[in-house]
Structure 1
Amino acid sequence: MVADELTPPPEVETSLDLNELKLSDQGHEDNGCTAEEALATAQLLYAVSNPTSRELHEEAARSLPGGNTRSLLHNAPFPIAIKRGTGYSLVSEDGHTYTGLVGELTAGLFGHSNPLIHSTLKATLDNVGLSLGATTRLESQHARLMCDRFGLDRVRFTNSGTEANMHAIQAARRYTGKRKVVVFAGGYHGAVFCFASGAPASNNVDLGDWVVAEFNNVCDARAKIEGTDGVAAVLVEGMQGAGPCIVGTDDFLQAVQASARKAGAVFILDEVMTSRLAPGGLQSLVGFKPDLTSFGKYLGGGITFGAFGGRLDIMAVYDPRVANSLAHSGTFNNNTLGMSAGYVGLSQIYTPEVAVAFNKVGDDLRSKLQDAAVGTKMTVTGRGSVLGIHFLKDGRKELLSVKQRQDEVQLKELFWFEMLVDGFWITRRGSIALVMGTPQSELDRFVSGVERFLKRHEKFVKI
């Protein structure tokens, strides 16, 4: 057992009838129990329902620290192990089927077994091969498509959104001759670019070079950007994915762009999670043009992927034909699988018309959930096909920054456990990224499940 596992007290384990723990379609009242007791009950049901996952976790812990190699996927008492995914659904090692709403944090846009992606990968394996150690036509065709779709002069590929932001920042530093980077509290730009607490995480790189401003605060952003010497870049998400899904107002984002240009800094928009929100990314909805944009997630067609691109003069710092240009290497930057699957995904599956229609589905879902949340501590944020569900002590319905987010942690945990019982796979933090091909009936069923949760725990969730 790892140190942070949550185990119900022995008396709970021996006194509860497991048949009484199961949630009925009609729901049930809390019958005088506390939120803590309801959570303990949910944890116990989870533990006894997933014995194979527990065994696999214990086995993994013998070779991986905490049985984990991706922090977000850890949870107490142990994570559920997934055996396979097909279309929009997942089946666990314990035989439970879930409707997938995690969407691999926006990377799983095409689902788990899209037939066109599948045939493209097979054709690439059969006709092109792997690890060629050379350039291919695949990378140039995907680059051209991305430049046309997102309004870029030039683009370069990486292996992840983390790498994309890293190289975009280095481009800004070379171009401006400066070092500092203005970011925003609550922002997440990759594994070593995390500002969840309002300060750089301890494992961030370049700890002395970050200036952290308040998200959605025009005055603070302007003061930090224009009032700090040596600012090379301003890096911002149009919607903070780790919030989850705290949306930047148009006025705020326009002000950030204007201040960056006034300060002579490179304006970098992190669209790793948001480029799917419109045919031209979130930037096309806001109506501005960043100097550089970072990308990732679904644009590799389900294969590891990242990219950054933008203005010709800035991207030229990586032109190997130019003396003293920056080096940008990466064995798998142009891997044949990601280049081919990404191109097919963007050109034949997630076309501009499909992107518009799909994000309307997300807007409609968020509206229904917001209606259900009236009078409760639940709040729903987001834009298009990416949204976040929060349980807040004050029940505020407009969430502009992580500073305003006062979580009801037990309710958030209880919600996650009980959505699993209802057959929905979401993240513990409450983020949802819709998967193409999910039937409307399943989304309606999710709304009904949320409504039942709010009714079942009315005394905990009402304001």
Structure 2
Amino acid sequence: MSGRNAMLEDALVEARDHYAAARPASAAQHAASLSVMPGGNTRSVLFHGPFPFTAEKGEGCVLTDIDGHQTVSMIGEFTAGLFGHSHPAIRAAVLRALDSGVNLTAHNRFEGRFAKLVCDRFPSLDRVRFTNSGTEANLLALATATIATGRRTILGFQGGYHGGLMTFGAATNPINVPHRTVVTPYNDVDAAVATARAHAADLAAIILEPMLGGGGCIPATGAFLRALRDVATETGAVLIFDEVMTSRLAPGGLQEATGVTPDMTTLGKYIGGGMSFGAFGGREDLMAIFDPRRPDAVPHAGTFNNNTLTMSAGIAALSEIYTPDVAVTHNANGDALRDALNALARKHGVPMLVTGRGSMMAFHFGHAVPRNAAEAGAMNQPLKELLFLDLLDRGFYIARRGMIALSLAVGAAEREGFLAAMDDFLEIRADVIRAAV
């Protein structure tokens, strides 16, 4: 092991040991779960070494674990927790739904109103249907495209995450649904257009996040989005924006902010008020295949698609809490935080970069801003673990992969506290970072 790698490994061993020693109750909880869940885990993204901590409760933006440690959550349930852990308007909405009954086996008074709020918000949505997750929404949008076009090939992009059953990583995900897929680098206009044209006769859909989420919070360039819009129109493919995460970044999502309107949009996460939620929608002619009044209607079932808890919470989310004005302010606060973090890196002379847009951002340790997931993945990953563990020790919780998704409950005091924690981290770990990159 080289001397510079040894410095980082020593720092990681120390940080892991400190984490483990401070969390005996979480260690015991994890050990007990090993006998009933593979790896003691049922949600891969939450696992980290030496073992994941177990939360006891959350209030506002503060999470308390079973060992009594309190941390400010800067990851906000990977964008689903936009309203914090305990927003009173969401709680009131859920109670209203409980008062009217949970399992009604019928249309309910919430769903139509919620659907109108969603359609009014996002430019591409003439019609919308609800699901229980963003994963379902993406699978149904892709199914819509293949049915409507009579084609089978899907164009996706490296680093794209479209739910647990459709991801485009460095290697093929063995549990991906068996669509015929072709994948090109994100933000590479020439490769995307050439691939779309090469498969034009069978190209059903082009699907992408207008900013990579799990792929490193890397925004698509305007040229990339416009090129995809043009080539989708040229080939007759359905352009799908996966805005499950990015819809929070402007009042009408990134499709509104960028001025590029897809044929279909998928949604999820925060829009259901923190309940299980997904939605897919788009042009009226595409969505009409699901109209049950048609003799040739395509069925779309789902016991909980219109569950009263999500429908009621979603109405509160869009009409009472995350109004367009709030969305603008919240994302401006995120932009300011990202700028301040990058300024701290320059102040300490360390090769750390924070990419993203608005209230979503991610840390990268390297010298050049990554343009795609491959470039982000080639940067130093162990340093992200060190950052994760050191920030937990300072009372702040980010994703193990270096991602932040600000909730509305993270106010000015918490943002200032986070900057102070980062300032301390960079001062103490500057030599380790410089040596490792």
Does 2:370 match 1:399? yes
Instruction: Write the distance in 2 (CA, Å) between the matches of 1:218 and 1:277.
Output: 23
Instruction: Write the distance in 2 (CA, Å) between the matches of 1:427 and 1:437.
Output: 17
Contact kept in structure 2, 1:246 and 1:381, CA below 8 Å? yes
Give the secondary structure class of the aligned counterpart of 1:239: coil
2:300 aligned partner: 328
Does 2:276 match 1:296? no
1:369 aligned partner: 341
Question: In structure 1, what residue type is equivalent to 2:402?
Answer: G
2:364 aligned partner: 390
Moved more, 438-447 or 340-349: 438-447
Query: Offset at 1:365?
Result: 0.3
Instruction: Write the distance in 1 (CA, Å) between the matches of 2:198 and 2:266.
Output: 25
2:193 aligned partner: 222
Instruction: Write the distance in 2 (CA, Å) between the matches of 1:154 and 1:417.
Output: 44
Provide the TM-score with structure 1 as the length reference: 0.90
Map 1:61-80; keep pairs closer than 5 Å. Answer: 61-80=34-53
Instruction: Write the distance in 1 (CA, Å) between the matches of 2:6 and 2:389.
Output: 17
Instruction: Write the distance in 2 (CA, Å) between the matches of 1:121 and 1:202.
Output: 37
1:271 to 243, 256, 262: 243
2:77 aligned partner: 104
**Is there any run of 5+ residues in structure 1 with no aligned partner, and where?**
1-31
Identity %: 46
Query: Offset at 1:33?
Result: 7.2
CA RMSD after TM alignment: 1.5
Per-residue CA deviation, residues 403-435 of structure 1 (Å, 9 max, x unaligned), is 212231221111110000000011100111001
2:28 aligned partner: 55
Map 1:424-463; keep pairs closer than 5 Å. Answer: 424-462=396-434
1:338 aligned partner: 310
Contact kept in structure 2, 1:226 and 1:260, CA below 8 Å? no
Question: In structure 1, what residue type is equivalent to 2:352?
Answer: M
Query: Offset at 1:119?
Result: 1.1
Map 1:146-295; keep pairs closer than 5 Å. Answer: 146-151=118-123, 152-197=125-170, 199-207=171-179, 209-228=180-199, 229-295=201-267
Map 1:11-26; keep pairs closer than 5 Å. Answer: none
Give the secondary structure class of the aligned counterpart of 1:183: strand
Contact kept in structure 2, 1:193 and 1:200, CA below 8 Å? no
Per-residue CA deviation, residues 242-288 of structure 1 (Å, 9 max, x unaligned), is 12211111111111111111111000000000001011011111101
Give the secondary structure class of the aligned counterpart of 1:343: helix
Instruction: Write the distance in 1 (CA, Å) between the matches of 2:335 and 2:48.
Output: 29
2:353 aligned partner: 379
**Is there any run of 5+ residues in structure 2 with no aligned partner, and where?**
none
Instruction: Write the distance in 1 (CA, Å) between the matches of 2:310 and 2:429.
Output: 45
Query: Offset at 1:460?
Result: 2.1
Per-residue CA deviation, residues 183-236 of structure 1 (Å, 9 max, x unaligned), is 001100000101121x531111115x0010110000000011111130000001
Q: How many residues align?
A: 428
Contact kept in structure 2, 1:161 and 1:190, CA below 8 Å? yes
1:319 to 291, 304, 313: 291
Instruction: Write the distance in 2 (CA, Å) between the matches of 1:236 and 1:274.
Output: 11
Contact kept in structure 2, 1:200 and 1:210, CA below 8 Å? no
Per-residue CA deviation, residues 359-408 of structure 1 (Å, 9 max, x unaligned), is 0000000000111122322110100001111123xx21x21101212231
Query: Offset at 1:348?
Result: 0.7
Provide the TM-score with structure 2 as the length reference: 0.96
Instruction: Write the distance in 1 (CA, Å) between the matches of 2:90 and 2:62.
Output: 17
Query: Offset at 1:309?
Result: 0.7
Per-residue CA deviation, residues 109-139 of structure 1 (Å, 9 max, x unaligned), is 001100111111112112x111111111211
